[in-house]
Chains A and B, each alone.
Chain A
Amino acid sequence: MRYLPHTRQDIDQMLAVTGHADLNQLFETIPDSAKTKTGLNLPDALSEWDLNAEMEELASQNAACRSYTCLMGAGSYDHHIPAIVPHLISRSEFMTAYTPYQPEVSQGTLQGIYEFQTMITALLGMDIATASHYDGGTALAECALIALRKSKKANKIAVSSLIHPAHRQIMQTYLDPSGYEIVDIPADRNGLTDVAAFKAMEGMAGVAVQSPNFLGNIEDLGSFRACADEKKCLLISSFTEALAHGLLKRPGSFGVDLVAGEGQSLGMAKSFGGPGLGLLAGTKKMMRNLPGRFVGKTTDSNGQRGYVLTLATREQHIRREKAASNICSNNGLNAMTAAVYMAAAGKNGIREIARLNHDKAVYLKNMLVDAGFESVYDSAFFNEFVVKAPAGFADKRRELAEKHNLFAGVPLESYYPDMADHYLFCATETVSRQAMDLLAKEVKS
């Protein structure tokens, strides 16, 4: 096996040093009764070339093996990835390093993540950002736990029913064993979280709202801030489309306490849903409550600029059962990916891409309405919106996927049972007008 360097002679020499007769004897401390009798019943080892063939065969059973038009978002977005992003991120020095526990030989990772933290605070308008989390949903669940732990009395948290359904499910999983309760805030007629319903709620440790929400609509975080202030509870905002912040007002400008979101749009492939990038940001006040790693700037013994992992006294390896979270490995390389993407796009690039996304989505919605879909909400949106499909669209949709490799929207009924025939569409900068026109034409025909 080409990954195993030992020659017969190496093994003999080493066994002579360890004092074992053969390799099996190395396991002398394992009682015989504990050893497996069956060995490993696995397929025979493949050569690199046979592996290529087998993996290509599997990959070819996904529709994504051919170029396709992606009009689906719902937490995973189709964006252009500049060649420099995978190129730089594939460098061995980034990819095959461990967590930067020895800062003297990890300054590349450390400076890169420090720059990532800085750019995320700029994107979200927040004071601080962590070095990453697993995904948007787990980051949001951690925020809910922070709010609940900080509150002396309340054991409930108000959660918008228009937060990504999977994110709400993760919150439920995380909160269940502690006996914390999630109280749903319903949606109003405009496809927005009903702030009046939240106003009527008592005894909440916090309130969580996603903007743009799962239906694509842009929420009024300001009114939730005002309401949360009256109730003296924390305001958590979340998002699944990081690029929206190229255009929208930043969550920080509304005085949000904690922000959790998904950063996959910042240079990462969809990869069947993961790994993406959990983003977590907060106000300065939240610094010691946030989970996971931070990189901080400092100096070395010669006074040179340098970076280290810092504020570790919140973390599991120091605090063990009293830690703020159990997170250890995070999604570091994807944070670095986002750093490269944001550095390459820059202030003007991210703005222009965000505007293009909005333009395309508005065009698509107009085309669909023209083709017989019903506009469901009048609320402003970024690059996703809901429409009600004409009869027979489910079959048409399948045909479009099979014949034209065009994936038209995400059906909403499985998430919201009263939304039969409703679809969540997404258009990004990758979608051509031609593809959108084709969709409209096919629907009309």
Chain B
Amino acid sequence: MTQPGTTGLIFNEPELWDKSREGRCGISMPRSDVPRTDLDPALTGDAPELPQLSELDVVRHFVRLSQWNFSIDAGMYPLGSCTMKYNPKTNEVQAARKGFAAAHPLAGDEFSQGALKLMYELEQLLGEITGFPAVTLQPAAGAHGELTGMLMIHAWHAKQGKQRSKILIPDTAHGTNPASATLCGYQSVNIKSGPDGILEPATVAEAMDEDTAGIMITNPNTLGLFEENIKEVCDIVHAKGGLVYGDGANMNAVMGIIKPGELGIDVLHLNLHKTFSTPHGGGGPGSGPVAVVEELIPFLPVPRVEKENDAYSFITDCPDTIGRMHTFYGHFSVMVKAFAYILSMGGDGLTRASQLAVLNANYIKESLKTTLDLPYDRPCMHECVFTDKTVQEYHISTMDMAKRLLDYGFHPPTVYFPLVVDAAFMVEPTETESKDDIDQFIEAVKAIVKEAASDPDKLKSAPYLPKVTRLDEVTAARKPCLKG
């Protein structure tokens, strides 16, 4: 099978300032039609030392840089926990419509009805998908959604008259979970998942007490497994007066199959930049809406969108609100893209997407489980987690396999996360990868495992085809050089 990775001409490109020449400028200056008025020189500084380039200099620079990047549009990007699905192009067209892109956030409700209606309807759609009566779109990313949700839990306990000091967090949780809890002043109590990779009710019962605010659960969890005991776990936490936070970053596995709001979860964040197909942009901007049960609605951040007689407005008069999380209303253009995606897919399409995401992951798991070590050999959801055990005898690590995959033309899976598995190799193909592409990926992994035995040194200094080879991260951290 021919693998996608190959060589081709790319360009060297210096740092911007090495191309700078005094007197160049890359933008068109508007004509001045008013008198020049100088600001008091005591307040004026020198012009900032930005590089001076022509328009084509700038275009070439960034086009050359872009060619050194891997992207979903170029190839399979099976990063576990990241849901790197195809980002539909029509979503970008929708967000770029003048009525959306040029809208000023303070134009006033009556001049912003389209934006308000879109936000209101998106809240309804996400509420239906997750099974909750209310949603806020304000959080700017997944972790920001976690903080929003945890602040609501904090405020709810305060309102009950007694604040609590701890929060339960399973060992499979993403690092943002404990970090978000800390920002609310909660001490994280790490609880262990059972031998099957999922939480056991007894473990939760033992840890849960009346000084514990609740639990943060990711379901499906980061091993790609469904937390089968979710209902019992929620009951245990509720019985002790706690609340259940759901990290919905992995919602892509279960749309139309389960609704977290029906299972006892009280607050849940979604990542629009995962499940709902908005681009990651090399690290954001994302969007992390939060859905809540009835009892938590008063605590939602302001402003909230309200509908009355077919007119939409922002309201801020909510006495129990946690307050504001974003300067305006959140990442609106990301919301437009997710809205376009949901309308394009429909309910059946979203359910189908989850089914195929789970099919793809199980297919990879079954196809590779004799090649790589699979610590939890159970039916998985949208991702599966392997380790490097089968290649350790050749002194090859997960990182070596990951780097070698680059030469084959695949982005590596997530590596060394979740932490409960040693040297994790976490594959999430998503539903938008075809069987043919997945077969190619499987072949690539098998070929690499063969190479581990036959030519381990080759793997240790991989990759060979990218613009640069392995980078010296140790020196980068010891002697940080953060600007040119």
Contacts and interface: CB of A to CB of B under 8 A. Distances in A.
Q: Does A associate with B in a complex?
A: yes
A300 interface: yes
A115 B64 CA distance: 14
B114 A62 contact: yes
B484 A114 contact: yes
Contact of B68 (A19, A76, A108, A118): A108
A178 B165 CA distance: 11
B97 A55 contact: yes
B377 to A, nearest CB: 12
B77 interface: yes
A80 B414 CA distance: 40
A370 to B, nearest CB: 14
Interface string B285-308: 110000000000000010000000
A363 B475 contact: no
B93 interface: yes
Contact of A72 (B24, B104, B331, B334): B104
B338 interface: no
A88 interface: yes
Say what secondary structure dominates the interface of chain B: loop
Given A84-B55, A274-B329, A363-B35, A62 B402 contact: no
B248 interface: no
A114 to B, nearest CB: 7
Nearest to A409: B106
A288 B35 CA distance: 47
Contacts of A38: 259
B473 A310 contact: yes
Nearest to B188: A321
B203 interface: no
Contact of A170 (B115, B326, B411): B326
Nearest to A313: B477
A330 B141 contact: yes
B66 interface: yes
A445 interface: no
A344 B58 contact: yes
Contacts of A360: 34
Contact of B140 (A31, A101, A275, A401): A275
Contacts of B2: none
A106 B48 contact: no
Contacts of A11: 356, 359
Interface stretch (A192-200, A227-235, A332-340, A384-392): A332-340
B477 to A, nearest CB: 5
Given A96-B73, A272-B332, A333 B141 contact: no
B104 A333 contact: no
Contacts of A74: 106
A105 B79 CA distance: 14
A6 interface: yes
A87 B263 CA distance: 45
Residue with the highest number of chain B CB atoms closer than 10 Å, among A74, A166, A271, A333: A271
A108 B228 contact: no
A88 B93 CA distance: 16
Given A96-B87, A330-B284, A349 B180 contact: no
B280 A248 contact: no
A420 interface: no
Contacts of A429: 30
A129 B73 CA distance: 30
A311 B475 CA distance: 11
Interface in A313-331: 313, 315-323, 325-331
Residue with the highest number of chain B CB atoms closer than 10 Å, among A70, A310, A363: A310
A98 B72 CA distance: 9
Interface in B229-269: 230-231, 254-259, 262-263
Interface stretch (B347-355, B385-393, B444-452): B347-355
B1 interface: no
Interface in B120-174: 125, 128-129, 131, 140-144, 146-147, 151, 154, 174
B51 A347 contact: yes
B66 A93 contact: yes
B333 A1 contact: no
Contacts of B92: 90
A166 B62 CA distance: 35
Nearest to A434: B33
A177 B179 CA distance: 14
Given A105-B70, A173-B324, A360-B34, A320 B353 contact: no
Given A27-B358, A51-B90, A173 B151 contact: yes
Given A326-B147, A350-B48, A105 B347 contact: no
A356 B29 CA distance: 9
B285 A134 contact: yes
B195 interface: no
Contact of A62 (B16, B115, B379, B406): B115
Residue with the highest number of chain A CB atoms closer than 10 Å, among B40, B406, B431, B469: B469
Contact of B93 (A26, A52, A135, A253): A52
A129 B52 contact: no
A92 B74 contact: yes
Contact of B111 (A24, A63, A166, A273): A63
A414 to B, nearest CB: 9
A311 B477 contact: yes
Interface in A111-125: 111-115, 117-119, 121-123, 125
A137 B323 CA distance: 13
A418 interface: no
B185 A179 contact: yes
A107 B350 contact: no
A100 interface: yes
B286 A46 contact: no
B106 A72 contact: yes
A10 B29 CA distance: 56
Contacts of B88: 3
B226 interface: yes
B344 interface: yes
Nearest to A322: B182
B61 A343 contact: yes
A1 B431 CA distance: 12
Given A109-B283, A293-B283, 7 more contacts: A3-B431, A30-B257, A43-B343, A62-B114, A99-B282, A172-B323, A308-B471
15 contacts: A4-B353, A18-B366, A34-B230, A42-B342, A61-B99, A104-B467, A115-B484, A247-B44, A272-B115, A308-B476, A325-B179, A326-B176, A347-B47, A348-B52, A433-B33
4 smallest CB-CB distances across A and B, nearest first, come from: A273-B328, A333-B281, A59-B99, A332-B283
